[in-house]
Amino acid sequence: MISRRALLAGSMLSVIAGASRAQAEANVAITRELVTKLILPNYEKLNDAAKVQAGLWADFAAKPDAAAIAGLRNAYLKTADAWSAIEFLHFGPAGADFRFERISYWPERKNATGKAMAILLAGRGDDGLAPDVFARSSAAGQGLPALERLLFDNDAETLLLANDADGDRRRRVGLAIARNVEIIAGQILAGWRGGPDSVLKKLDDPGYAQEATTRIATDLLALFQLIRDTKIEAPLGKSIESAKPRLAEGWRSGRSIRAIAINFATLRDAAEIIFANSKDEIASPSVLKSAVKIADSLSAEELSALVISPKRRSDAVLLLDAATSARDVCKLEIPHALGITIGFNSLDGD
């Protein structure tokens, strides 16, 4: 005869299993929404921007023109913006073949990008710049931070227009980097939506979809820590005296805060999808809207200037506070909403 305790235990297990199934089904739906409404559109924008950028570099390399440099810089900014919108995601095709690092090797260590660029620029003609060869070179010289240096470093325009072997090589290196970013962006997009082995197709498997939910959520939460610790606090320092303005992302092109604003907008959009059908009282979407508003209000400013300004440093502190509040709220609410556990190291980037 089955005891009452055994019956009660069996009943409780059925309830838990039912809840788990319901959570898993909800997560599959949420993950599909994240993929179709956030991830794929942003990778498509990156792919499109990278194509335009590579085309402009091809024209410039063939016919150097001072008037074209403004177009190259604008194309870079659009491609970098598109990257910022999907930068959080390591899961999937971006994590294969070091594609993530090859598009954006940042933060760099020990001036790795400068060293990689010095080696590239020391060459002549197309030596080492064929796509398959270039893809095996240092990741620090393959992506957007390297292209930023070519376009925005001191005397960039003069160096790019130089009518000599150095100028020719510099233009060819710029084209190689732009084409490399275009190729990688296309590979990532194809890996998400093309063929039977694409992520989009594999989401038909509930087990894979649940894994994708956890991995995507982990990447989203890791972005909070990257924004707070690396993008804001590292250049801010404890005081003006200890500030390190050149640790700000994209300081050469003046887009440090703009990149953060775009990061926050992606997190806000993701939260709105995750919590769309939640019956709980939640704060994540509103706190992220506030963070976006603060970052947008400062996006025309340059973080590297704010952190060393006695009058404006408080704005950088306000941005840090917004990042901290958003992180603290979302790291509790997002895992709870999805019924998943995020490891300590995932949140701290260790």
Number of separate domains in the chain: 2
The chain-wide mean pLDDT, for the chain, equals 92
Side chain identity at residue 116, one-letter code: A
Per-residue pLDDT reduced to its tens digit, 327-349: 999 999 999 999 988 764 444 44
Q: What is the phi/psi pair of residue 195, to 5°?
A: 85, 175
Is residue 26, in this structure, part of any structural domain at all?
A: no
For residue 232, the enclosing domain spans 206-348
The pair of structure tokens assigned to 285 is: 């979407």
Are 70 and 50 in contact by the 8 Å Cβ rule? The answer is no
**Residue that is last in its domain, among 148, 176, 202:** 202
Task: Specify whether 189 is located in the same domain as 57.
Answer: yes
Q: Enter the pTM of the model.
A: 0.92
Is residue 6, in this structure, part of any structural domain at all?
A: no
Per-residue pLDDT reduced to its tens digit, 19-39: 477 888 889 899 999 999 999
What is the mean pLDDT of the segment spanning 130-144?
Answer: 98
Task: Specify whether 229 is located in the same domain as 106.
Answer: no
Binned at pLDDT 50, 70 and 90, residue 14 comes out as very low
What is the mean pLDDT of the segment spanning 148-153?
Answer: 98
Is residue 216, in this structure, part of any structural domain at all?
A: yes
Per-residue pLDDT reduced to its tens digit, 275-331: 998 888 999 999 999 999 999 999 999 999 999 999 999 999 999 999 999 999 999
CA distance 21 to 25: 6
Per-residue pLDDT reduced to its tens digit, 95-119: 999 999 999 999 998 999 999 999 9
CATH code of the domain in which 61 resides = 1.20.1420.20
Is residue 111, in this structure, part of any structural domain at all?
A: yes
Task: Specify whether 178 is located in the same domain as 64.
Answer: yes
The pair of structure tokens assigned to 41 is: 């559109």
**Residue that is last in its domain, among 157, 175, 202:** 202
Is residue 224, in this structure, part of any structural domain at all?
A: yes
Task: Specify whether 195 is located in the same domain as 319.
Answer: no
Task: Specify whether 106 is located in the same domain as 150.
Answer: yes
**Residue that is last in its domain, among 145, 177, 202:** 202
According to the model, what pLDDT value does residue 23 have? 81
